[in-house]
Amino acid sequence: MIVTRKKSKVMRAKKVLIDTSIWIEYFQNRSRELSKRVDEYLSQSKVFVPRVVIAELIQSSRSKKETSIIERFVEAFNIVDQNEETWIKAGHLSHQLKKDGKCVNLIDCYLAVIAMDNDCQILTLGKQFEAIGGILDIQLLTLET
């Protein structure tokens, strides 16, 4: 079941940034429920993807055929991109998390900043976004098993 975790100040976003962890599960067709939900978002043009997620998917592809499928599939996405402050904000976020004793990689901090700046909910399997949610005002959609 998909569960929305939101802070009281956050309004429900209409856009969904889908994390690499979800795409890997989706492309490997491991969960019918997850696939159905992603397909629903795709059909409603609600999927927003930063270029770095596309790069991560290509990086993890197992064949040229898989890479080709990912490259063609990109046409179904709305691409969201950084602004001039995105990496600086991600760096500050990562620094704060480290000071708080939490280790979250910089790419996930970057994705959280992109989502916040573009009013996107984040659909993820990764628990690291919960730590980020303690600092940034983000909405998480997670797949509860």
What is the 8-class DSSP label of residue 126? -
Q: How confident is the model at residue 144 (pLDDT cuts 50, 70, 90)?
A: low
**R_g of the chain, CA atoms, integer Å:** 15
pLDDT in tens, 80-134: 888 899 999 999 999 999 999 998 999 999 999 999 999 999 999 888 899 999 8
Contact between 104 and 127 under an 8 Å Cβ cutoff? The reply is no
In this structure, which amino acid lies at residue 91? G
Instruction: Give all domains of the chain, ordered by start, each with its CATH number.
Output: 2-143 (3.40.50.1010)
Which of these, 60, 77, 65, lies nearest to 24 by C-alpha position?
60
CB-based burial of residue 109 (10 Å sphere; 0-12 exposed, 13-18 middle, 19+ buried)? Answer: buried
